[in-house]
Copies of this chain bind each other. A is one copy, B any other.
Amino acid sequence: MKSNGTAAKPYHHGNLKDALLQAARQMLEEEGHSNISLRKCAVAVGVSATAPQNHFANKTALLTALAAQGYADLQAYMRKDLPDGANQSSRRKAALLGYVAFAQDHPALYELMFARDRVSSSDADLLHNVGACFVILADIAKGFGTFQGDETKTDAKQQMFIWSFVHGYAQLLTANRFKKDDMQGMTVLDIIPELGN
């Protein structure tokens, strides 16, 4: 091709994979994960309709990458206001508020992160980032509440409880399942019943 005055678009995009993820993420937030289209992403980025195939084996692979990115962001939200050496209670509060803030800021992404039939849950990247989130949750769950029965499982119970609760709250909140006037001036923290400690 001969060069003319206007800058000729290079044959190779240079950073197509990231560009596609970015376009997909925007489409995700705007139209929901079931309305994402690889072709639309490709066109949005200024590339041919089937170019994404070079970077993602299939649609699931792209959605999985998006979900993995989501877990990384969730981790960042939880860490954002996490005080370093402070007491366990204030650390817990900060992380929970961060968790919910993430779900509120990125509701469609948060939903995708738990959509079993759209992401491949065995993906290495995904698992890695999920694990990183779980580390934080396990950390802040320590010393929370008392449980009956097998005491060797106390840690597990604390983790399962706190993750169940905050996940459920985040999803019901973003799905508008709570009554609006109940929510006036409330945060997650107000909904946790008082426990022994």
Contacts and interface: CB of A to CB of B under 8 A. Distances in A.
Interface stretch (A50-58, A72-80, A81-89, A160-168): A160-168
Contact of A194 (B108, B145, B176, B178): B145
A182 B153 contact: yes
A121 interface: yes
Copies of this chain present in the complex amount to: 2
A168 to B, nearest CB: 3
A18 interface: no
Interface residues of A, number: 52
20 contacts: A34-B117, A108-B116, A111-B116, A111-B117, A116-B174, A121-B176, A147-B190, A147-B193, A147-B194, A156-B182, A160-B172, A161-B192, A163-B168, A164-B168, A164-B169, A164-B191, A167-B168, A168-B171, A193-B195, A193-B196
